[in-house]
Amino acid sequence: MSEKLEQIKNIGIVGAGTMGAGIAQVAARAGFTVILHDLREELVEHAKHTINNSLRLELEKERISESEHKKILKRITTAVDLQTLLRADLVIEAISENLAKKMEIFSNLDSMLKPEVILASNTSSISITKLAAATARPDRVIGMHFMNPVPIMKLVELIRGISTSDVTFKTVKKLSEDFGKVAIEVNDAPGFVSNRILMPMINEAIFTVYEGLATIQSVDEIMKLGMRHPMGPLQLADFIGLDVCLAIMNVLYEGFNDPKYRPCPLLKKYVDAGWLGCKSGKGFYQY
């Protein structure tokens, strides 16, 4: 492969949930054309609605003009047919945190897209090396881990799989910067750096409630007032999604084979009950 960086204009996004919608907004705002794919029409419609509302807030704060608002929305096409992504120069996968589902998507994308297309994953914890092994282009697979809410958070954690090439890395680093983000390079291990540190802290906060040490509100207040965290760990868990938190803890637990990463039984129970945090209306708090 030559050292020339890939030219990226059209970005495909697979998964139009919390993260996919945010990534689509940021990419379109930076001037890229976006094709946003999900399994059903109502899911992509909901994503468009979310993006429109988020941009409307930017308009109210006079960060974008009326005409920019319209232009940004125009750059986003939604699609329920995966084949629509054939036009993409780079695809960002943002489907649910599930290894088997992600492996299947990577294999499907690999077989249908031109060989030079870069495949990035927004996974919070799953091995990039494993996802790359589902394709015949492991040098063009990379982790592009955005933070939630994507339009606000500055960081993109860039994860190199064992075969990720320098050209792929540099292309995606430049793309992240074009999105207005700061990209930080890490290597591939369960949870990478961000969730290796954050998720055990959230899990431990859940244990303190499970063991009756303090109330939900007290745990969050302690971390906010005592440690200057802008949001308590339990409120943050609700915001991230308790199913996402549990999936990440399981990846850490199984990946390191170390009991220190065992997910708290209370977290499992909440997810079993369908209490997933903000997105389901109930988690540690009511929404």
Active site (annotated) includes residue 250: no
Binder to ligand NAD among 38, 89, 188, 238 (CB under 6 A)? 38
Q: Which stretch binds ligand NAD (CB under 6 A): 25-33, 52-60, 140-148, 201-209?
A: 140-148
Other CB atoms within 10 A of residue 25 CB: 25
Residue 249 near residue 206, CB atoms below 8 Å: no
Task: List the beta bridge partners of residue 144.
Answer: 158
| Smallest distance, ligand NAD to C-beta of residue 39, A | 5
Alpha-carbon gap, residue 24 to 122, rounded angstroms: 12
Active site (annotated) includes residue 257: no
Which residues inside 146-175 make contact with ligand NAD, applying CB under 6 A? 146, 148
Active site (annotated) includes residue 10: no
Nearer to ligand NAD, 1 or 112 (CB): 112
242 binds ligand NAD (CB under 6 A): no
Active site (annotated) includes residue 54: no
50 binds ligand NAD (CB under 6 A): no
User: Which residue in 10, 122, 127, 195 is the catalytic one?
Assistant: 195
The residue of the chain with the least Cβ separation from ligand NAD equals 17
Which residues inside 114-133 make contact with ligand NAD, applying CB under 6 A? 122-124
Residue 120 near residue 181, CB atoms below 8 Å: no
Binder to ligand NAD among 13, 19, 55, 99 (CB under 6 A)? 19
**Cα angle at 97 between 191 and 269, to 5 degrees?**
95
Half-sphere exposure of 138 (CA within 13 A, CB side): 12
User: Which residue in 124, 127, 165, 203 is the catalytic one?
Assistant: 124
Half-sphere exposure of 196 (CA within 13 A, CB side): 14
Alpha-carbon gap, residue 247 to 157, rounded angstroms: 19
User: Which residue in 93, 121, 145, 176 is the catalytic one?
Assistant: 145
Nearer to ligand NAD, 219 or 244 (CB): 244
Task: Please identify every residue annotated as catalytic.
Answer: 124, 145, 157, 195
- Interaction site with ligand NAD (CB under 6 A): 14-20, 37-39, 43, 94-97, 101, 105, 122-124, 145-146, 148, 240-241, 244
